[in-house]
Structure 1
Amino acid sequence: MISTPEGYVAQTSTSLAACLAKVPQLAERLGGKPDAWRVEEVGDGNLNLVFKVYGPQGAMAVKQALPYVRLVGESWPLPLSRAHYEHMALSEHERLTGRLVPKIYHYDETLALIAMELLEPHIIMRHGMIGGIEYPQFAADISTFMARSLFFTSDLALSADRKKAMIGAFSGNTALCKITEDLIFTDPYRVADLNRWTKPYLDPYAARWREDDDLKIAVSRLKLKFMSSAEAMLHGDLHTGSVMLTTEDTRVIDPEFAFMGPMGFDVGAVIANFLINYFSQDGHEGK
């Protein structure tokens, strides 16, 4: 069994109301008595517990880190400290980009829990793109988000001491960085348990990647840059699954992979997800 800090308790849809009731500003925001609150667990979180909480006067989303990957279980331990880095990044993003991220209502370090603005009727962008929905505001919003969050946390805007302080503040988020180092820069180019592709149709392509030494050398150079080039504060997992939006409003969520790294990684992740969506559209037609 994975050990957790004293005071940490993983919440459930039945225990969360009593937990939130202990925080006056959250209880006031929801209104009424805790037994009048409705708590729904959102089941699509890969790493964390996510809940929607509705009260007579308001609502909120609550995200809590587990000491392991939620989708896999205790066989894949993951530090609770990722909630700390997510809170730091969200706070910085809110300062720099305003309405482009959900507003934070409360953070509990011991419980690794963040209460924040509930985004409704927003949906995950990946789902909307699969459904063929057009988002006319997204290009302006995501470019503003990246421009402000990357520029103002880089040497272009920060003093040397402030920049070094940010590097130090995010330097402990090693477990999340390791996931990226493995899943993006290492595993796709070798035989690995977590690799997935459409078999047997893409078998030749997967084999070609594993056998392409020039490709592996090029990717290794990019991996080195990812690991050593602390240019700016990255979201670290900026793709269409980390954006909730409507046709008029865009919000960037889930920056728990945040660290100080090369600016091009966030930009490239967004562009790559658009390319993946484009090439997958034929398979989604008629569904």
Structure 2
Amino acid sequence: MTVKVKPAYEPLNELTVLDVIKPLNFFNSASLNNLVVQEIGDGNLNLVFRVQDSDSQKALIVKQALPYAKVVGESWPLTLDRARIESDALLQEAESVPHLVPKVYYSDSHLAVTVMEDLSDHVILRKGLIEGNTYPLLAKDIGTFAANTAFYSSDFYLHPFDKKEKVKRFSNPELCKITEDLVFTDPFFDHDTNEFPAELKSSVEKIWSDQELLREVAQLRFSFLTRAEILLHGDLHTGSIFVKEDSTKVIDPEFAFYGPAGFDLAHFFANLTLNHLSQNAHTKEPFHRESVQSFLLQTIEKTWETYTNTFTELWREKSSDPFVKTEGVLENFLQHTFQEAIGFAGCEVIRRTIGLAHVVDLDSIEQKDIELFYKKKALELGSYLIKNQRKFTSITQLTNWIRGA
């Protein structure tokens, strides 16, 4: 008996990626000599290749996890299991919202590879927003995505045995530790991963010494560490969403894990808020700027409204929870999700301003004094959200406050 030994893991390149693709029969045999491979990844953790038939223009994406963080190098090792988690998360999400995630054609946990739908006709949401574009389906799509993935992965729907098995399946300690450090810990202390202009030092030191703020962050961090409520995307910012006029696709769920229900919504809201701030510098024409900023705030409002309406409908029709008809149970869950999301959003706003991984929305502001002005605004805004999270009772209260910040 001959036992086939799997080849040792090696990072792919533009030649070896074809060895993964050719056996899949995605392209017909006559096209194999016409395949064009291009490395397109610009992220911090992975290799990404686009493979296209130059004749038919048919294409797919090959994503491979690296055993370290590209942003730092081999001194920061990472598990390759995150590729398996990403593929599993996409398949899980596709069970309820197939139109909102890329199709997965193939995965190989040994090679840490996922082969998926090409989305080259879409653009990264962050880029589109910075350019002042608006997307009419965005709020409905993200609200639908978040509500469906939340409900169908929760104890409200799943048998307790199934839920606990999924918590184990999506255990993601290494990437959760990155989030724990970069979102909830490092920005709130004098840590060497932080990065900010010297001119912000006094504003940053104010955060580091604010005991009320730090107590709230500690509580949010503890919730992140302990509340395995739903399957989260884990990194749902505007760089993890592809868009075009009539389509939204949520990508890159390699940070997926079971955590607090408000976490994904918080990251989405925070990144829209940061873009709202940056539009004051990026969009010169006043009427267009007002229109884009109104769209951003309406997107926050409509996303939450879609989330609550969708989750409520699923709760009423499909929940197996014994307290499904008890008055106030759903309302309490949604209120806690909302208020905690505001606190999480405050942490995301601060870390994207002074932590290791910034957002280009603010960093690309050309005039240094204006960049500093809006980064100080971001720090004030984030601090307020964290310290006042439980004072917010409606989504319009939140957007009105952002509008006036």
Please confirm whether the aligned pair reaches a TM-score higher than 0.5, indicating the same fold: yes
Shift of 1:17: 1.5
Query: Normalising by the residue count of structure 2, what TM-score does the alignment of the two structures yield?
Result: 0.66
Equivalent residue number for residue 117 of structure 1: 117
Say yes or no: does 1:255 pair with 2:256.
no
Shift of 1:197: 2.6
Which amino acid in structure 2 is aligned with residue 18 of structure 1? D
Map of 1:1-287 to 2, 5 A cutoff? 7-21=8-22, 23-28=23-28, 32-55=30-53, 56-57=55-56, 58-171=58-171, 173-200=172-199, 202-285=200-283
Greater mean alpha carbon deviation, residues 31-40 or residues 61-70: 31-40
Tell me the SS of whatever aligns to 1:32: helix
Greater mean alpha carbon deviation, residues 273-282 or residues 97-106: 273-282
Q: Please say if residues 48 and 62 of structure 2, whose CA atoms lie closer than 8 Å, have aligned partners that are also in contact.
A: yes
Distance in 2 separating the partners of 1:178 and 1:187: 12
* Deviations 1:70-94 (CA, angstroms, capped at 9, x unpaired): 2221111111111011011011011
Q: Please say if residues 242 and 253 of structure 1, whose CA atoms lie closer than 8 Å, have aligned partners that are also in contact.
A: yes
Q: Please say if residues 49 and 70 of structure 1, whose CA atoms lie closer than 8 Å, have aligned partners that are also in contact.
A: no
Distance in 2 separating the partners of 1:190 and 1:24: 49
Distance in 2 separating the partners of 1:180 and 1:196: 16
Distance in 2 separating the partners of 1:158 and 1:109: 26
Q: Please say if residues 235 and 266 of structure 1, whose CA atoms lie closer than 8 Å, have aligned partners that are also in contact.
A: yes
Distance in 2 separating the partners of 1:107 and 1:18: 14
Tell me the SS of whatever aligns to 2:61: strand
Q: Please say if residues 48 and 61 of structure 2, whose CA atoms lie closer than 8 Å, have aligned partners that are also in contact.
A: yes
The root-mean-square deviation of aligned C-alpha atoms, in Å, is: 1.5
Equivalent residue number for residue 349 of structure 2: none
Which amino acid in structure 1 is aligned with residue 18 of structure 2? A
Shift of 1:33: 4.2
Q: Please say if residues 228 and 261 of structure 1, whose CA atoms lie closer than 8 Å, have aligned partners that are also in contact.
A: yes
Q: Please say if residues 239 and 270 of structure 1, whose CA atoms lie closer than 8 Å, have aligned partners that are also in contact.
A: yes
Which amino acid in structure 2 is aligned with residue 96 of structure 1? S
Q: Which runs of 5+ in 2 are unaligned?
A: 1-5, 285-365, 367-405
Tell me the SS of whatever aligns to 2:249: strand
Distance in 1 separating the partners of 2:218 and 2:281: 32
Tell me the SS of whatever aligns to 2:107: strand
Shift of 1:99: 0.8
Shift of 1:6: 5.4
Distance in 2 separating the partners of 1:257 and 1:115: 18
Q: Larger radius of gyration, structure 1 or 2?
A: 2
Tell me the SS of whatever aligns to 1:185: helix
Q: Relative to total residues, which structure has the larger helix share, 1 or 2?
A: 2
Distance in 2 separating the partners of 1:251 and 1:226: 25
Q: Which runs of 5+ in 1 are unaligned?
A: none
Distance in 1 separating the partners of 2:87 and 2:263: 21
Q: Please say if residues 78 and 175 of structure 1, whose CA atoms lie closer than 8 Å, have aligned partners that are also in contact.
A: yes
Distance in 2 separating the partners of 1:232 and 1:157: 11
Q: Please say if residues 124 and 241 of structure 1, whose CA atoms lie closer than 8 Å, have aligned partners that are also in contact.
A: yes
Query: Normalising by the residue count of structure 1, what TM-score does the alignment of the two structures yield?
Result: 0.93
Distance in 2 separating the partners of 1:177 and 1:155: 21
